Amino acid sequence: MQHLSAVVDKLRGCRVLVVGDLMLDEYVRGEVTRISPEAPVPVLEVRELRSNDIRLGGAANAAANIQALGGRASLVGVVGTDDSAETVRKHLEQHGIARLLVADASRPTSRKTRLVAQQQQIVRIDYEKRTPVSGNVATQLKREIEASIPDVHAVVLSDYAKGVITADIARHAIECARKAGLPVIVDPKQRDFSVYRGATVITPNLHELEAAAGAERFEVEAAVAALLPGLDGAALLVTRSADGMTLFRASTAPFHVRALAKEVFDVTGAGDTVVAALALALGASIPFEQAVELASAAAAVSVSKRGTSTVSPAELAAALVHG
């Protein structure tokens, strides 16, 4: 992939709109040396809580990856009216991400708190409400999407099944993008992929593909063959962990890229990195196959780090040279 290292510079300045479920990822780290006398559970002794233990997650992490790779991200999403919402805004500002957030007093800002002992996650606590957005909140989201489309080169739908990417919001975003001639990249969580009809590419992992196929016996190629006809031209980029990723398009031979990761420490947020690199590449008019290779290399860097993370242009270029 060394021939692609020069392509990384083409990602700089590409503007991407990210629409989806944003959240905060919090890591509380400590040591476990004893069991609680109150119940048979480990006691986590927290040594310190550093500021970098709170990071942008979900759609916000996809936007952060776009910024880190040299692009310009705008984020449309929903927050609550709580302290976590202010933390989100502060972190987005630090990353230089344009904030187009709709406040919903009826739900908390999504936050995942992971308790980690000796580099091993022992429990996760989720603060969230997954009810689909509706009414005035949905209307405001659609207005923000419409207003942002003329200023970007690509659109990402980051669906974490927290309520922002409803069928109505997805359809609206995809229709607006298609009218403007923009690529749409979808990180899916819904079982019914027809919700994302008309997107440019949908990026399920094996579990998400199996859930969408709904077959008694799961086989990747058969699942893809069953799903593609109902997607109105959308391609499927299936991420296959250690087996790499494969791009499937109607009437075109599959395009496979092997996994590049030498060591895997943490897969948290790797899907956000994939869609970020893919959106930047497609937004910069880089050919589809090369875009997939770039995304694969970016994912290899992401999983080599601990926790939710971003990838820099220098790291991506180095991964391409040594891939």
pLDDT in the model for residue 267 = 54
**Start-to-end C-alpha separation, the chain:** 6
pLDDT of residue 248: 97
Q: How many CB atoms are located within 10 Å of the residue 31 CB?
A: 14
pLDDT at residue number 310:
80
Per-residue model confidence as pLDDT tens for the chain (323 residues): 556 667 888 999 999 999 999 999 998 989 999 999 999 999 999 877 665 589 999 999 999 999 999 999 999 999 999 999 999 999 999 999 998 999 999 999 999 999 999 888 999 999 999 999 999 999 999 999 999 999 999 999 999 999 999 999 999 999 999 999 999 999 999 999 999 999 999 999 999 999 999 877 899 999 999 999 999 999 999 998 878 899 999 989 999 998 775 555 445 668 899 999 999 999 999 999 999 999 998 888 887 776 667 888 888 888 777 65
* pLDDT for the residue numbered 71: 96
Half-sphere exposure of 269 (CA within 13 A, CB side): 33
Give pLDDT, residue 52.
Answer: 56
Structure confidence at residue 2 (pLDDT): 54
Residue of 75, 46, 82 lying closest to 58 (CA atoms): 75
Q: What is the pLDDT of residue 314?
A: 85
- CATH code for the domain defined by 2-23+57-113+130-322: 3.40.1190.20
Q: Which residue has the tokens 């290779």?
A: 293
Can you tell me the distance from the alpha carbon of 120 to that of 44, in angstroms, rounded to the nearest whole number?
A: 11
Q: How far apart are CA 56 and CA 177, in angstroms?
A: 25
Report, in angstroms and rounded to the nearest whole number, the Rg of the chain calculated over CA atoms: 19
pLDDT of residue 50: 63
The answer to whether 230 and 193 are in contact (CB under 8 A) is yes
Domain ranges of the chain: 2-23+57-113+130-322
Show which residues are catalytic: 272
pLDDT at 320: 79
Which tokens hold the place of 308? 């939710």
SS3 per residue for 58-85 = EHHHHHHHHHHCCCEEEEEEEECCCHHH
The per-residue pLDDT for 323 is 59
